[in-house]
Amino acid sequence: MEFTKPHIEYAQLWPVLVVFGVACIGVLVEAFLPRERRYVTQVGLAVLGLVVALGGTIGVGVHLDALKGGARGLIGAEGALAVDGPSVYLWGLVLICAIGGVLLFAERRVEGGVTVFAGQAAALPGTTAEREASTRGLEHTEVYPLVLFAVGGMMLFPAANDLIMLFVALEVLSLPLYLLCGLARRRRLLSQEAALKYFLLGAFSSAFFLYGLALVYGYAGTMEFAGIAAAVQGGASNHSLLLIGVGMMSVGLFFKVGAVPFHAWTPDVYQGAPTAVTAFMSAATKIAAFGAFLRLFYVAFGADRWSWLPMMWAVAILTMVVGAVLAVVQTDVKRMLAYSSIAHTGFLLTGMLGVQSAGDLGKGEISSLEAVLFYLTTYGLAIVGAFAVVSLVRDSGGETGRFGAWAGLGRRAPLTAGVFAFFLLSMAGIPLTAGFIGKWAVFSVALSAGAWPVVVVAIASSIVAVFFYVRFILLMFFTDAEPQGAAAVTAASPLTTGVIAVTAVATLVLGVVPGPVLDLVQHAGSFIR
Amino acid sequence: MTLTILCALPLVGALVTALTPVGGGRPKQIALAFALLTLVEGIIVAIRFNTGDSGFQLTEDVTWIKAFGAHYALGVDGLGLLMVLLTVALVPIVLVAAWRDTNRSSFFAWALALEGFALVVFTATDVLLFYVVFEATLIPAYFLIGAHGSIRGGSAGRSWAALKFLMYQLGGGLVLLAGVIALYVESAKSSSGPSYLITDLQKLDLSTDVERWIFVAFFVAFMVKAPLFPLHTWLADTTEMASPGTSVLLVCILDKIGTFGMLRFCLGLFPDASQWATPVVITLALISIVYGAFLAIGQDDLLRLVGLTSLSHFGFITLGIFAFTTQGGSGAILYMVNHGVATAGLFLAVGFLLRRHGTVLISELRGQERATPVLAGIFLVAGLATLGLPGLSQFVSEILVLISAFDYHWWVGAVAVTGIVLAAVYVLWAYQRVFTGPGGDASIAPGEIPAVRDLDRREIGVLAPLVVGLLLFGFVPGPLLDLANPTISSLMKHAGVSDNAPVVAGGK
């Protein structure tokens, strides 16, 4: 048997390879560098790697070749990866969120000189080993290579152009996240419980995904999206095989994006994980997973959309309603944000319903893909910023999300509370914030595709969502502080404040002049087929 | 650029005021200076305006979001100009009225921000721009209510009122969003691509069903804003808890957006659907007129009372708009201006009463006429204007609306007329209980200085322009009609109605 060397398009794929490469170097640093020098080295390496990858992504994006049919780019790595406009845009988005995430990981001032990660994860909570680790001021610097591996997976996920790559990318992005969730320095049991829950449910949903993948392969006889699309278009035999396959694959993807009824992990994990990790993963995972979701369903299963659209309708409606309604009864900030992020998944799915063939779109009308990409941008920025603020609000026992502790924060720290309120308003979709433009975009594409019942539900759940966001602003600004246990804002290093400032400014700019980013999204074109 | 400067001045002022330190920085003076500058700019706009022309004037148009077909487009017609003038005139008055109420600069900053957004609302000629600022006005309003309530009542009641206000408004706003998005979807189907400019949307050929649904979305939002029965329940709670100055901004300026939107968008963009909905709308308007008046009669709190009179008045305005005659429409526009002036007078007078007694419960006040004759007199004048006494401004607009109501159907007119009778009851009965009769300072021996002092010069200075306005527009409504008529005529032409515009006899 002859072995031919696979052809890899290094010129287009190098940003991904840089991320993985730096992650591997990070592992070596752990092994060979003395402990006291690891923090600076790892943080520097991670940030440098991500920035270089971001620069590379921009470079790749600029030089993508335009193709027929509104797409640009190429299919590389022997058909396994599609480097097209949407992929590159999502790479950029994931990298930006990752840079923000790493900067939050590196924050040491709020926790009194150490990072928010456990001193020694292997030490059981409450043991002498743990106390010893904490008195010696140990830190886990493995988190930086871990996050880089996750970022690499997140870049592969939306670019995956065949089923195997899709699954591999899913696992590569998930496994480091499971670990990161369990590494909180405080409330370790809660954190470990979150990690275990996330891992078990994630593994379970991966199994569904894999089973569905096998069924789809059985139907189409090929792993490549283009081949599957051809089989679907040709109406190959045994349609039920395809339907079951699509259904099971969606279970896996619905789990990743946190759609009802596969959302149950979200609040527990968002609450238990270190807030910096929550900030990173709530944004980046959703961005990557929606990218993959869109490519799989638009490119591979697009021709059969009348079969899967009803399912999407139902899930979108359920997700918005459940997310918004359950968020109302939360009494913890992180859980409220978790349920609100479920509701946002519903809004994103609403945008996904807006899929139409290019011929049905009016001249200059925005497409469903553009709307979802823009929404992901606005959501990612706001949620990273919001969790970054959450990480600063602390009482004597460390970070606190209890509503009572946040009461009257607007009087004690008007600037921080004001910025948080601004993020909430963006998530609520109030005009002059990025969230409004995003919401407008996804609703309009759904309405244009005739999904008006979903849009009606979306409007109704937006009203519910507005209620809990506004009530929280009320709590911060117009409620008197509790006599005991009121939280205060801890002074943070420029790492966290920088992240908050940049995301807040970006949220404002995208709300007032969204034109350039919308043009960019439009310029990214459609998926390569 | 004139209009951009007009809208930007108060927004810049808000920013400067917010950033000025309270101690020594004189944020109040800065805020007032910006409000006065805006007033001057508003007068400049009025001077440059050509009354004969019915289209938008002083227009500006810059592409804002190309993908959405949205433009930063401003322009004024007669209706817009009247609303702009009302806004720029009332805001300085409110600022001076609130001079002693608070030392926090945030009230003045938020008030200016509200003015800036409201001015964009009244001058926007692009639906998306309108929507964006329509919603943006709520944020300053929310903080004005929540953080700067009237001097009584705990923060709990205030924050509840702020929440209720915001939920109603944002809920209405989201319904409007559905309509705005549907307009985009429809306009994207046209050959020229999506556009949100009013002039482009008017050319759009909407199918009957679509036009009706979009109309409903717009109307519901404006119904919350205006407010009309049955979406009015936020009104009284808000005016009770907000400071009187805030109430003026909310009821006299912000609520006008509701009726302004009905004219500009419901009639302007969906004339057929508006005519289709007329029976329902007129019924709701009549219910608002009568029910609002009865509610006002039953109130013990003067601030609630004044708030609820507005429900009745907004019923009149809506009735005038949807009677689909030029008289009704012009009457409605006049009504919007006159109601703004009269209600501002009432709110501020009640506010001064509140400062003196710490309460405005009718049951706890009596015989104030003797202690504060000037205040009583001004309250009476504003009240008489509210009930439509001939010679005061509201009479002219009320009579125009009533004529058009009788034209529409005799029973509509008959029901509407009861609103005037009831208005006499709530105004005069409240005046009688609060200001006349024994009590007040009767217990104070002659020669002693009364504990309650009458209006000082600042307070008289605040109320005087309003009283002058009431008298002036009562006797000389001509200039207002000249501004209102072209707008209404072109709207009626668009809707396919032809009749004669009301004119002031013997003017020239």
Full DSSP string of A482-518? PSSS--EEPP--HHHHHHHHHHHHHHHHHHH--HHHH
What tokens were used for B44? 């400049």
The DSSP call for residue A114 is: S
Q: Residue A97 burial by CB count (10 A; 0-12/13-18/19+): exposed, middle or buried?
A: buried
How much is the average pLDDT of A297-308? 88
C-alpha to C-alpha distance for B328 and B502, rounded to whole angstroms: 9
User: Does the pLDDT at position B443 exceed 80?
Assistant: no
Report which listed range, A79-83, A125-129, A376-380, B17-21, is most confident.
Answer: A376-380
Taking CB atoms and an 8 Å limit, are A522 and B67 in contact across chains? yes
CB B426 within 8 A of CB B293: yes
C-alpha to C-alpha distance for B166 and B148, rounded to whole angstroms: 15
Give the burial string for A149-183 (b: 16+ CB within 10 Å, else e): bbbbbbbbbbbbbbbebbbbbbebbbbbbbbbbbb
How much is the average pLDDT of A284-306? 91
What tokens were used for A242? 């395809």
Q: Which amino acid is at A427?
A: M
Distance of CA A224 to the CA centre of its chain: 25
Measured between CA atoms, how close is B168 to chain A, in angstroms?
9
Of residues A364 and B288, more confidently modeled: B288
Cis omega (within 30 of 0) for bond into B227: yes
What tokens were used for A105? 């990981």
C-alpha to C-alpha distance for B95 and B462, rounded to whole angstroms: 9
Q: Which residues of A touch B161 (CB under 8 A)?
A: none
pLDDT score of B25: 66
C-alpha to C-alpha distance for B235 and B227, rounded to whole angstroms: 7
Nearest-by-Cβ selection for A518 from B65, B136, B191: B65
Q: Does A336 touch chain B (CB under 8 A)?
A: no
Q: Is A46 helix (H, G, I), strand (E, B) or coil?
A: helix
Phi, psi of B75 (to 5 degrees): 180, 155
Q: Determine how β-strand A81-84 pairs with β-strand A73-76.
A: antiparallel
- Least Cα distance to A388 among A492, A475, A233 occurs for A492
Nearest-by-Cβ selection for A444 from B131, B147, B184: B184
pLDDT score of A122: 79
Q: Which amino acid is at B283?
A: T
Of residues B227 and A153, more confidently modeled: A153
When scoring A440, A468, A475 by the number of chain B Cβ atoms within 10 A, the one with the most, hence best to mutate, is A440
pLDDT score of B286: 92
> B60: part of which helix (H) or strand (E)?
strand B57-65
Query: If phi over 0 gives left and psi between -120 and 50 gives alpha, with beta otherwise, what is residue A65?
Result: beta
Q: How many residues does chain B have?
A: 508
Taking CB atoms and an 8 Å limit, are B163 and A444 in contact across chains? no
Q: At what angle do helices A225-234 and A188-220 cross, to 10 degrees?
A: 50
What tokens were used for A104? 């939050």
pLDDT score of B445: 47
Taking CB atoms and an 8 Å limit, are B181 and A431 in contact across chains? no
How much is the average pLDDT of A205-217? 94
Q: In chain A, how long is the greatest CA-to-CA distance? A: 78
Closest chain B residue by Cα to residue A462: B174
pLDDT band of A493, cuts 50, 70, 90: confident
Residues B392, B452, B383: CA angle, nearest 5 degrees: 15
Taking CB atoms and an 8 Å limit, are A440 and B177 in contact across chains? yes
> What's the count of helices (H) and strands (E) in chain B, helices before strands?
23, 2
pLDDT band of A327, cuts 50, 70, 90: very high
What tokens were used for B382? 């504003």
Of residues A15 and B159, more confidently modeled: A15
pLDDT score of A120: 79
Q: How many CA atoms lie within 13 A of B308 on its CB side?
A: 27
Q: Does A365 touch chain B (CB under 8 A)?
A: yes
Closest chain A residue by Cα to residue B161: A474
Nearest-by-Cβ selection for A467 from B138, B167, B185: B167
Residues A196, A197, A203: CA angle, nearest 5 degrees: 85
Taking CB atoms and an 8 Å limit, are B65 and A437 in contact across chains? yes
pLDDT score of B487: 85
Positive or negative torsion for Cα B343, B345, B350, B352:
positive
User: Does the pLDDT at position B339 exceed 80?
Assistant: yes
Q: What is the mean pLDDT of chain A?
A: 89
Nearest-by-Cβ selection for A364 from B138, B174, B193: B193
CB A480 within 8 A of CB A406: no
> A73: part of which helix (H) or strand (E)?
strand A73-76
Percentage of the residues of chain B whose pLDDT score is greater than 70:
94
- Note the pLDDT tens digit of each residue in B407-421: 888 999 899 999 888
Taking CB atoms and an 8 Å limit, are A430 and B68 in contact across chains? no
A-contacting residues in B 19-78 (Cβ below 8 Å): 64-69
pLDDT score of A357: 73
Q: Does B347 touch chain A (CB under 8 A)?
A: no
pLDDT score of B78: 87
Q: Does B453 touch chain A (CB under 8 A)?
A: no
How much is the average pLDDT of B412-439? 86
Closest chain A residue by Cα to residue B183: A444
- Note the pLDDT tens digit of each residue in B350-375: 888 888 877 778 888 777 777 788 88
Name, in order, each residue with C-beta under 8 angstroms of A57's C-beta and a sequence gap of 6 or more: A15, A88, A91, A92, A95
User: Does the pLDDT at position B499 exceed 80?
Assistant: no
- Note the pLDDT tens digit of each residue in B101-145: 777 788 889 999 999 999 999 999 999 999 999 999 998 998 888
What tokens were used for B9? 């001045």
Distance of CA A491 to the CA centre of its chain: 27
pLDDT band of B150, cuts 50, 70, 90: low
How many interchain CB pairs under 8 A, A with B? 111
Q: Residue B406 burial by CB count (10 A; 0-12/13-18/19+): exposed, middle or buried?
A: middle
Residue A482: count other Cβ atoms within 10 Å of its Cβ: 16
Distance of CA B332 to the CA centre of its chain: 12
CB B196 within 8 A of CB B187: yes
- Least Cα distance to B165 among B96, B109, B242, B274 occurs for B242
Q: For residue B61, what are the β-bridge partners?
A: B73
Of residues A155 and B99, more confidently modeled: A155
Q: For residue A398, what are the β-bridge partners?
A: A395
ipTM of the complex: 0.88
DSSP H helices, B234-270, are 234-241, 244-247, 256-261, 268-269
pLDDT score of A478: 82
The DSSP call for residue B252 is: I
- Note the pLDDT tens digit of each residue in A453-492: 999 999 999 999 999 998 898 888 888 888 887 888 888 8
Of residues A308 and B437, more confidently modeled: A308
What tokens were used for B458? 């600042």
- Note the pLDDT tens digit of each residue in A10-52: 888 999 999 999 999 999 999 998 888 888 999 999 999 999 9
Q: Does B171 touch chain A (CB under 8 A)?
A: yes
- Least Cα distance to B226 among B258, B193, B273 occurs for B258
Nearest-by-Cβ selection for B159 from A432, A478, A522: A478
Measured between CA atoms, how close is A423 to chain B, in angstroms?
14
- Note the pLDDT tens digit of each residue in A134-165: 788 788 888 999 999 999 999 999 999 999 99
- Least Cα distance to B185 among B201, B165, B208, B202 occurs for B201
C-alpha to C-alpha distance for B78 and A307, rounded to whole angstroms: 54
Percentage of the residues of chain A whose pLDDT score is greater than 70:
99
pLDDT score of B447: 47
pLDDT score of A509: 93
Name, in order, each residue with C-beta under 8 angstroms of B389's C-beta and a sequence gap of 6 or more: B395
pLDDT score of B507: 43
C-alpha to C-alpha distance for B241 and B247, rounded to whole angstroms: 9
Distance of CA B222 to the CA centre of its chain: 12
C-alpha to C-alpha distance for A62 and A169, rounded to whole angstroms: 25
Q: Which residues of B touch A370 (CB under 8 A)?
A: 67
When scoring B128, B159, B204, B209 by the number of chain A Cβ atoms within 10 A, the one with the most, hence best to mutate, is B159
Q: For residue B72, what are the β-bridge partners?
A: B62
Report which listed range, A337-351, A400-414, B198-212, is most confident.
Answer: A337-351
Q: What is the mean pLDDT of chain B?
A: 85
Measured between CA atoms, how close is A466 to chain B, in angstroms?
7
pLDDT band of B451, cuts 50, 70, 90: low
A-contacting residues in B 191-250 (Cβ below 8 Å): 191-194
- Note the pLDDT tens digit of each residue in A64-98: 888 877 788 888 878 889 998 899 999 999 999 99
User: Does the pLDDT at position B508 exceed 60?
Assistant: no
- Note the pLDDT tens digit of each residue in A419-454: 999 999 999 988 889 999 999 999 999 998 888 899
Nearest-by-Cβ selection for A514 from B65, B155, B159: B65
What tokens were used for B326? 């030029």
C-alpha to C-alpha distance for A49 and A352, rounded to whole angstroms: 32
Q: Is B106 helix (H, G, I), strand (E, B) or coil?
A: helix
Lowest mean pLDDT among A492-501, B188-197, B310-319, B396-405: B188-197
Q: Does A509 touch chain B (CB under 8 A)?
A: no
